[in-house]
Amino acid sequence: MVAVWEQQAVVEGCDSAEDVAEAIRSLAETAEEVAQEYEDGASNQREYFPNSETADNSDEKASQLREWARELNTCADNLDHYEGVSTEEPDEPEEPDEDSTDEEKQQYETDKAKYDTDKEEYDNSQSDIDEAKSTASDCPC
């Protein structure tokens, strides 16, 4: 389980969607490995103690870890959409004053439209990053 906790700390330290997705995929892989260890342990316990409640608990833990790993991979896949999206919130363009030329006003409109698109994409990426990090912190361990 230490390996899972270490990977969770890596996820928390990431900022960009690409980094979070990569760290979450690594966390999912680690969760699968730990699940396999639980399953192997349960199998060994049943070999010597056929009706072992501990083995049943280990199987349940493995199942929970595998489900969590699937959720993590889904979160990572959702973050792939944001490849290249800045981790910095975009700056809103400054509105032109009354003395601005038509060309400056038109440039503002173009810049404002780009800002609105970039801001929406940034907000969506941050929301999905937060959701992914929350899922990563919800280990069933």
Q: Are 108 and 90 spatial neighbours (Cβ–Cβ below 8 Å)?
A: no
**Residue 49 belongs to domain spanning:** 2-137
pLDDT for 1? 80
**Chain-centroid distance, C-alpha 52:** 36
Least Cα distance to 108 among 123, 118, 97 occurs for 97
Query: How many whole angstroms separate alpha carbon 74 and alpha carbon 62?
Result: 19
pLDDT digits (tens, 9 = 90+) for 107-134: 999 999 999 999 999 999 999 999 999 9
The pLDDT of residue 139 is 92
Residues of the chain under the 50 pLDDT cut: none
Structural domains in the chain (count): 1
Q: Residue 2 to residues 5, 32, 33: CA-CA distances in angstroms? A: 5, 14, 12
